[in-house]
Amino acid sequence: MNQLELTELLKKAFAEDIGMGDLTTNAIFPDSKLGKGTYTAKADGIVAGLQIIRTGYTLLDPDAKVTFHKQDGDTVKRGDTIAEVKASVRALLTGERVILNLIQHLGGIATATQEVIILLNDDSISVTDTRKTLPGLRSLQKYAVRSGGGSNHRFRLDDGVMIKDNHIKAAGSITKAVERVRAEIGHMVKIEVETESKHQVQEAIKAGVDVIMLDNRTPDEVKELTAIIPDNIIVEVSGGITPDTINGYKDCGADVISLGWLTHSVKALDISFNLK
C-alpha cells in the first residue's frame, strides 16, 4: 500500500466528510479530551487496509497511538479485536466513519477473494481482479485482492495491451489490431486479446499474442479451447464466473481467472468502532 497515495486519499475523504467541522463532536467535546476506541470484527472474514486506521487518525491527531491485534490478510472471527486507538475524542469520533467505510470495503474484497480461491481449489490457476474498480480507490482495492490471496490484473491502460471486442471491430480483425499494436509498443509490453469464438482463438494464436482471454466460456468450452492453445500463451478466463460456478473451472487448463465483481460488487466486512 503506497503511503503517499493513502495519505492523499484520506485527506480528500476527510475534507469531503468533515467540511467546515464536525458540529456534533466539537460541540460536545470543546477541549482535547483523550479517549480510547476499539475496532472489532462483527463477522468472520479477512481484514485488509488496516494502515488506514493509523494514517487516518494521525492526520487528525498527530499524537494518536494505534495498537494492531490483526494484520492485513489475517482471518478474523466475530468478536475479535482488530485494533485499539488512543487519541483525542474529537479525532476518534470525527474519523470513525471514513476509516470504517474503507476498511470494511477492503475487508469485503479480501474475504471474497479468499472464498473463491478456496472454492476453486486449484493452485495452478491464479484468481485476479480487473479494472472494474471505483475511481480513486483502485490501488487500495487491488491491494485488498492481494491481501485475500489473489493477484492483480492491469493497474492502468498503460500497464499492458488488451485488445477487446470493440478494438477488434474498429480495427477490422484481431490480426490487424495486433499488427498495429506491435508497430507502436516496445518489446517489454505483453499483448492480450479477448476472444469470443474458436475462430478468434485460432487467429490470436496465429498472430502470436502473449495472452488469450476466453470470454464467457463454459468449463467444457475452456477445456476444448485450451487444448489447441500453445503452452507459451497464457490463457485467461473471464465473464460470468461466480462463487457458485467457479469450482467447475478446476483443472480446465486455464492459467488465470479474472473476476470484475471482486472489486465492484462485494459485501463489506462488518466491523464496528466503539469508545471505551
Over the stretch 188-246, which tens digit does the pLDDT of each residue have? Answer: 999 999 999 999 999 999 999 999 999 999 999 999 999 999 999 999 999 999 999 99
Give this prediction's pTM.
Answer: 0.95
Q: For residues 194 and 165, is the Cβ–Cβ distance under 8 A? A: yes
Same-domain status, 7 and 67: yes
Give residue 123's domain range.
117-264
pLDDT tens string 82-93? 999 999 999 999
Q: Assess whether 104 and 234 both reside in one domain.
A: no
Q: Please, what is the average pLDDT of the chain?
A: 97
User: What's the pLDDT band for 2 if we cut at 50, 70, 90?
Assistant: confident
Phi/psi at 156 (5° precision): -145, 170
106 and 123, same domain (yes or no): no
Please give the C-alpha separations between residue 269 and each of 46, 86, 154, in angstroms, as whole numbers. Answer: 8, 23, 25
Shared domain check, 48 and 146: no
Are 258 and 168 within one domain?
yes
Whether residues 60 and 128 share a domain: the answer is no
> Residue 30: pLDDT above 90?
no
Residue 146 confidence (pLDDT): 98
Residues 230 and 142 in one domain: yes
Would you state the torsion angle of the CA atoms of residues 72, 75, 80, 84, taken in this order, to the nearest 10 degrees?
-10
Determine phi and psi for 140, rounding to 5 degrees. Answer: -70, -45
Do residues 7 and 93 both lie within one domain? Answer: yes
* Same domain, yes or no: 137 and 96: no
Going by C-alpha positions, the residue among 161, 151, 167 that lies closest to residue 259 is 151
Domain count, the chain: 2
User: Residue 48's closest CA among 125, 120, 129?
Assistant: 129
Note whether 216 and 235 are same-domain residues. yes
Supply the residues annotated as catalytic: 97, 132, 164, 194, 215
| Same domain flag for 102 and 39 | yes
Virtual torsion, Cα 70, 135, 127, 196, nearest 10 deg? 170
Q: What is the CATH number of the domain that holds 171?
A: 3.20.20.70
- State the pLDDT at residue 32: 81
**CA-to-CA distance for 209 and 231, rounded, in angstroms?**
12
pLDDT of residue 5: 94
Residues 82, 153 within the same domain: no
